[in-house]
Amino acid sequence: MAVPLFDLSQGRIAAPDLKSDLDMTTEELKQLLDLAGQMKRTPLRFVTALKNRYLTLLFEKPSLRTRMTFELAIKQLGGDAILSTGPIGDREPLKDIARNLDRWTQGIVARVFSQDTIEELARWSSVPVINALSDLYHPCQALADFQTLQERFGGMAGLKLTFVGDGNNVAHSLMLDAARLGVHFTLACPANYLPNAEIVAKAREFATATGAKIEVVHDAREGVAGSNAIYTDVWASMGQEKEAEERRRAFADFQVTRELLDAASPDAIFMHCLPAKRGLEVTDEVMEHQRSAIFDQAENRLHAQKALLVMLLD
């Protein structure tokens, strides 16, 4: 049966910004994933969706996937982007930057070190601000990840997703979206690298409505039991380089190996937001395994972000 075309007039995100995953309702999240799928299948239908729209990309952190997919998404939707790299707010206050950019462009995509930067930009900007990564959240990555799960399994409610590693920004976003989509979520992490307690509480609040189970354990093998997807990320993110050796020791028992993959469900896929440190958080064998979905996730960054841009800006 043909999937009905998405009605763009009915699919807007009510919030003015995407500062975090919490700026979308559950229904908006589901609509966005449906739209992302349609954009992937029928890209030519949307080539003028952002015609004559221009966006600012502010990148404090280096990027391959985020920069390329946002630039391509904007251009493939008929718009264009201006890129600025380096520290934000060093030469002039954030409130001045925001009120310059909103006079020139119709949106701001920011990849930053601190969530406070996102909040301050959104406070002063009259155009939408999109969080392309902060220390607390990575909502754009999570959108692509759930699009990937939906493609692989044909649906998501009742699946189990296990994140093995640090209770970081990616884990936070995955947890929040999983809870609203009815996906059971387990974080397997060392005791000293727990996720933000308020975010866990919010995810569990969402989960009461969907029946999802949100849990945090400290044993990787226990965490992946029954999982349909095993997800990991680098042990030391940008800005944590001084902690790299300490983190290497702390996470030694949380490497995703073939043995750990085999301890999950027989259909389990492997996921990683990339870039990966092969031989640290994951072995090369798992990265190259036929059940690895890492490049599907990377591709879906383009489609999920297209959907986000249209629902926020159109």
**Choice among 76, 233, 247, 305 that is catalytic:** 233
**Choice among 53, 65, 67, 138 that is catalytic:** 138
**Choice among 65, 67, 111, 247 that is catalytic:** 111
Single-letter residue type at 39 = M
Q: What separation in angstroms does the CA of 7 have from each of 25, 32, 313?
A: 17, 11, 15
**Choice among 38, 150, 172, 273 that is catalytic:** 273
Single-letter residue type at 178 = A
258 is catalytic: no
267 is catalytic: no
**Choice among 21, 301, 303, 305 that is catalytic:** 301
Distance between CA atoms of residues 142 and 175, nearest Å:
9
Distance between CA atoms of residues 239 and 286, nearest Å:
27
Q: Omega into 275 within 30° of 0, i.e. cis?
A: yes
Contact between 185 and 213 under an 8 Å Cβ cutoff? The reply is yes
Distance between CA atoms of residues 93 and 195, nearest Å:
30
273 is catalytic: yes
With a CB cutoff of 8 Å and minimum separation 6, the contacts of 109 are 55, 56, 57, 58, 70, 81, 130, 132
Q: At what angle do helices 26-41 and 294-313 cross, to 10 degrees?
A: 110
31 is catalytic: no
Q: Take residue 211 and report the two structure tokens written for it.
A: 């029946």
3-state secondary structure of 57: strand
Q: What separation in angstroms does the CA of 99 have from each of 30, 57, 122, 125, 302?
A: 32, 15, 10, 6, 28
Contact between 179 and 169 under an 8 Å Cβ cutoff? The reply is no
Contact between 164 and 223 under an 8 Å Cβ cutoff? The reply is yes
138 is catalytic: yes
**Choice among 31, 38, 76, 141 that is catalytic:** 141
Single-letter residue type at 63 = S
Distance between CA atoms of residues 212 and 215, nearest Å:
10
Positions marked catalytic:
111, 138, 141, 233, 273, 301
